[in-house]
Structure 1
């Protein structure tokens, strides 16, 4: 097996790690008893890797227009930077530093064993008081095994990490009492397993968190870590090395679980303290802290039994008719009025109004992509897990809602909804407000425009005739289901005419029609699945 990565393999690594952590997130959360039994290690690692994956995708997207391929160094450093700015919790912050160490060596052409060694060293340096039996022990064992392997260093690293993880209960009393392995170490093993699969094409033998603890014990019934500080404080910090050195000393005196990762002027600071204000004030004195997150711990009685997470869908819609339709499907809606797109604060408020721990966000408009992304990030800082599905039209949102299943795992549900939305081509009728050039030619004010996937494909004078032409264009490449959403300006009988046209001209294609209301300049939306 090759012992090196290329840019595509790093991209695969991110995707596979995110997928694996998505499957194991709740199980890893359930065995989280150290350093605080707050049951969020799996979630924090997932969010950290999600940020890393987004940064990697941004690098690839920047090369698509120029038809070039990104370099390994650019991609692996983007992965590390994304993890740094999105790191959550103690384990997520340490994972970000591990990725930074790997990026330093792999970006300079070093082999994987050297990269794992540098990752382990940097991570230990970042932790104020390293403790054995944690993610640090698993990382060091992976590096040791890789360096001592005559061949196949990566699989050896995984095997070494797996053995080290199994030994963590014997190194840390709180793990032994609870009958669990270290949650952060379990998460790191999952990430390393994804790396093995990305490089070799074969997944290594898995160690499921569900089998990591003896059946005779339940972590929720066992004594937990000693009571500690009341707050977890995390923030990004722009500061120089000298100021960060002083900050480390200051924060070390204020609390525990201190981890400061990063470099080159940007740092991620994590600490558990009783005085959250003092921890933030120390950051202000050192430089410019931002993305400040303060979480209050409530673990005096030990971790509560985990219930099935409540899930909600939040969608942006135009028109009361669509709002009613989405409400009937169980979604919380944000009404977008003509010329007044919702701000990110409105989307955040809708997410809060949904009262859910897990939220799927459907912007239903290409222009709302960045607004929705900002709202999702803000909601995540409040502890809500948010998945943004980049729906570009209400009909794509309808397709996503049609396959929504709250009883599935969150990641499986999001994947199914994303696939349904992506498989739905969308079109709309609009009325031109003035003369202009379009991709289909020159249009005059008052012309009826037929748009497919956002681009003008048909220009006509009669609304019904243009709708029929547009529908034929959509069905020329096939389809099984046509969704029609009628706007306030749709002429009487339009739906009957279109449904009849489909029945007569396209066998085995079903049609469903909804009253959407909304902006009079958009009389019809069409979706084809």
Structure 2
């Protein structure tokens, strides 16, 4: 029997969508040839919907504990927000915007057939608004076809159906449009496959139809064209429309981050990023955005976000020689590094590593590290946790990746400055064991320190600190307490350099005072001869300054 479009239906939709994408994930990954053949569209869509489903469950749990029941607006809003903050890849980001578009209509609380038709139309339009250079034959085309089919079904003379019939019509329209994508986009026609992102959307709409109709169908989505279409009608036009996008010589990095920023700043960011690369998708609103772009200069893409607002959860993936094959190209060796700030993420990416950027108080789970290892597409991986508290999490991730056939070495870096030192001596050309020894030795030879601000009164090895005091920590232990950040930094440097050293690394946090680096550089030159100083803009929020001495 049909079910109403309410909070329970949204919850069911999330569960069925996860099941459908779980079944289709590997098949969708295998046909991922546009915009980059990195073989992860199915996985990215699954992870995006997984985040959406968790948010919906959290909304239900919150209402249950309060003794109330969630409404449609609560559930669909949670689904859209969860997708936004967990969106992965180009297609996942677009689907997050599609859900946000539906929410704009359904948040009014009306789950009628008419409201669903309007929501599907708004969803399709919002995806075009989010993409800098829309290309037909993609998930955008499939979304529009779904909205068209829903409206055409309702226009029939004998129409008397409800939301379930609207969803089923949208699903069928999307299926039909998906099969036409190889004739609209040349790269799909040459490969003889349908669009991977569109394939995921068909699965998502099928789950919606199942949730509302109560008739669950596990029919697989057709992922192959009837025949390769290298000369398909419209392919040349589509090629010109997609010029510079999806070619093997395209940008080297995929950059994704969440951004807290005002609308005006985001408009400027779009223009800046559009000049840096392609596959630009910016979704969100109300102060929170998800930014996705393919660029050669990952650092510049992150810096543009810093200028616009506050980027976090930065994910930078090196395509690593991706070609137009149906499977992602494998590199011999890669480095995956956990970093506490956007600037450090850009620095690691420029050095060829895959960074996992984290916010203060939100350490990555082992599953997130495993996913980063997978996305590195390498047979051998060096994993740099860069935090003593992550050693067990990183070890679990390394063990899981090894069961999947990846040779993983856990480099025992306890600070980002040790990670920088290890990355500096990384050499993919030498043997795996020799590289592990060299990176471990470089990390171990780097003493590390940081400055932090005390959050509460506490006992330390250096005495009692009060909330707001500046703490100087060396190797994780508080060694000096004071009120002036610059003076504490100088005292820490003097203690560390008293044991010798040839190079000082300073990593400035987001809250580091202006001129701090210059004052510390002068101090080192005046007090410690023949010691060089290098400065990086780390962007970390937990510590205004990280220090390394080699």
TM over 0.5: yes
Give the TM-score taking structure 2 as reference length.
0.55
Task: Report the CA distance between 1:19 and its aligned residue.
Answer: 0.9
Q: Is contact 2:14-2:52 (8 Å) kept?
A: yes
- Sort the Cα spacing of 1:18 and 1:274 in 2 relative to 1 into closer, same or farther, 3 A: same
Task: Report the CA distance between 1:230 and its aligned residue.
Answer: 0.5
Whether 1:97 aligns to 2:109 is no
User: Could you tell me which residue of structure 1 aligns to residue 183 of structure 2?
Assistant: 170
1:330-479 correspondence to structure 2 within 5 Å: 343-356=389-402
Distance 2:391 2:100 in 1: 33
Instruction: Give CA deviations for 1:490-518 in whole Å, capped at 9, x if unaligned.
Output: xxxxxxxxxxxxxxxxxxxxxxxxxxxxx
Distance 1:115 1:146 in 2: 10
| Cα RMSD for the two superposed structures | 2.6
Instruction: Give CA deviations for 1:368-421 in whole Å, capped at 9, x if unaligned.
Output: xxxxxxxxxxxxxxxxxxxxxxxxxxxxxxxxxxxxxxxxxxxxxxxxxxxxxx
Aligned length: 322
- Sort the Cα spacing of 1:205 and 1:19 in 2 relative to 1 into closer, same or farther, 3 A: closer
From 259, 280, 283, give the equivalent of 2:281: 259
- Sort the Cα spacing of 1:143 and 1:345 in 2 relative to 1 into closer, same or farther, 3 A: farther
Q: Is contact 1:134-1:185 (8 Å) kept?
A: yes
Task: Report the CA distance between 1:283 and its aligned residue.
Answer: 0.2
SS in 1 for 2:32: coil
User: Could you tell me which residue of structure 1 aligns to residue 243 of structure 2?
Assistant: none
Q: Is contact 1:38-1:299 (8 Å) kept?
A: no
Task: Report the CA distance between 1:358 and its aligned residue.
Answer: 6.3
Q: Is contact 2:37-2:326 (8 Å) kept?
A: no
1:68-217 correspondence to structure 2 within 5 Å: 68-110=68-110, 111-150=115-154, 151=161, 152-203=165-216, 206-209=219-222, 212-214=224-226
SS in 1 for 2:401: coil
Instruction: Give CA deviations for 1:337-358 in whole Å, capped at 9, x if unaligned.
Output: xxxxx95552133212443486
1:11-26 correspondence to structure 2 within 5 Å: 11-26=11-26
Task: Report the CA distance between 1:215 and its aligned residue.
Answer: 7.6
- Listed as ranges, the gaps of 5+ residues in structure 2 are 155-160, 230-245, 330-364, 367-387, 406-550
Distance 2:186 2:290 in 1: 29
Instruction: Give CA deviations for 1:122-174 in whole Å, capped at 9, x if unaligned.
Output: 11100000000000000000011111212422211111101110000000000
Q: Is contact 1:3-1:112 (8 Å) kept?
A: no
Distance 2:391 2:303 in 1: 27
- Sort the Cα spacing of 1:71 and 1:273 in 2 relative to 1 into closer, same or farther, 3 A: same
Q: Is contact 2:37-2:327 (8 Å) kept?
A: no
Whether 1:245 aligns to 2:245 is no
- Listed as ranges, the gaps of 5+ residues in structure 1 are 218-223, 308-313, 316-341, 360-529
Task: Report the CA distance between 1:121 and its aligned residue.
Answer: 0.9
Instruction: Give CA deviations for 1:424-473 in whole Å, capped at 9, x if unaligned.
Output: xxxxxxxxxxxxxxxxxxxxxxxxxxxxxxxxxxxxxxxxxxxxxxxxxx
Give the TM-score taking structure 1 as reference length.
0.57
SS in 1 for 2:149: helix
SS in 2 for 1:160: helix
SS in 2 for 1:184: helix
